[in-house]
Amino acid sequence: MKKFRTSIGGQALLEGVMMRGPGKYAAVVRTPEGLRAKEEAAAYPKERHRVLGWLFIRGVCNFVQSMSIGMKALFWSADQFAEETDTPSEPQPKPEQKGLGKGLFAVSMLLALVLVIGLFTLLPTFLSGLIPAFQATEEAAELPVHLNFLRNLFETVLRLIILLTYMILVSQTKDIKRTFAYHGAEHKSIACYEAGEALTIENAKRFSRFHPRCGTSFLLTVVLVSMVAFLLISLPLQMLRWENAFLRAGIRLALLPFVVAISYEVNRLVGRTDSILSRAIRSPGLLMQRITTREPDDGMLEVALDALKRVVPAEEGKDTWGTE
């Protein structure tokens, strides 16, 4: 029998897991009072308009929607624990103060986004401009093609080093360790579902915390695709003083939608099979998951399984990989 691959995916939350299915998403968190859940309809973009499901367009649309759902789920999970800080003896906050915790969380997420853009997009570009070999001179106002390639390769390697260093450092904190364990619970639960096993804690525990269709693989694909795309577009732009770091950084940001679209199609394609090429493309992401996942406890698996059960479609096969 052909191995079943589901399009259901999710992400770890603050003490919880969000799962997204073909018709809705569900977020479940564990609080001192027990499990809390939120379900909300979330149809794929192509179901709203056919053009949003076209090749390359669907990648950007699905990515934007996934980011939006993920942020909403994160805000919701943060709110659950903001409520826990209030005690019965404390006065209730005024209506205008009620969203303060959520507002602070939103600001912190915005600052984190700015930091990510600065670290992974701008910093490598500016650092490469400091290397004498990658600087244009009066005698040679334009860099040769081979130096453009080397500079692009250098920036890509530097981005990977920054990404790995960042992930390793944050993975050492107590809260992130727990979040990464919930990430592992998400993977185990989905693997259990894809194997056709009953969605129980004991069954889920038997599966690997590493999953070939994780968003971590997508992130690495984006980095590699951006290297190729930037190299190709750099050739016709030599006349624009390509050594200008601001120009290169700006064009990298402008290329991001195209990179996301191509990366989405690559991940969609390699996720269909277990061929040698597919396994080779997925292998860096699986290695990365050794940092971004940890073995979950039974309580974490219970949360992930609860979220998964809420989004499994009643119609068999509606969540087959590639239908999103």
CA-based end-to-end distance of the chain:
22
Separation of alpha carbons 273 and 321, rounded Å = 11
Closest CA to 323 of 73, 23, 65: 23
Query: pLDDT for 161-170, tens place per residue?
Result: 888 888 899 8
- Alpha helices per DSSP H over 129-244: 145-170, 174-194, 201-205, 215-234
In this predicted structure, what is the pLDDT of residue 140?
Answer: 47
Q: Which amino acid is at 297?
A: D
In this predicted structure, what is the pLDDT of residue 112?
Answer: 66
Do the beta carbons of residue 202 and residue 181 sit within 8 Å?
Answer: no
Closest CA to 155 of 228, 221, 233: 228
Residues of the chain with pLDDT under 50: 1, 87-100, 138-140
Closest CA to 162 of 125, 136, 194: 125
Beta strands (DSSP E) in the chain are 9-13, 16-20, 24-31, 34-41
In this predicted structure, what is the pLDDT of residue 113?
Answer: 65
- Which residues are CB-contacts of 228 (< 8 A; sequence separation ≥ 6)? none
Q: Which amino acid is at 146?
A: H
In this predicted structure, what is the pLDDT of residue 98?
Answer: 40
Separation of alpha carbons 255 and 120, rounded Å = 14
In this predicted structure, what is the pLDDT of residue 163?
Answer: 82
Separation of alpha carbons 166 and 175, rounded Å = 15
User: For the chain, how long is the longest CA-to-CA vector?
Assistant: 76
pTM of the model: 0.85
Q: Report the length, in residues, of the chain.
A: 324
Q: Tokens 């906050």 correspond to what residue? A: 93
Q: Please report how many Cα atoms fall inside a 13 Å half-sphere around the Cα of residue 61, on the Cβ side.
A: 18
In this predicted structure, what is the pLDDT of residue 236?
Answer: 63
In this predicted structure, what is the pLDDT of residue 243?
Answer: 60
Q: Tokens 């073995």 correspond to what residue? A: 295
Please tell me whether residue 25 adopts helix, strand or coil conformation.
Answer: strand
In this predicted structure, what is the pLDDT of residue 306?
Answer: 98
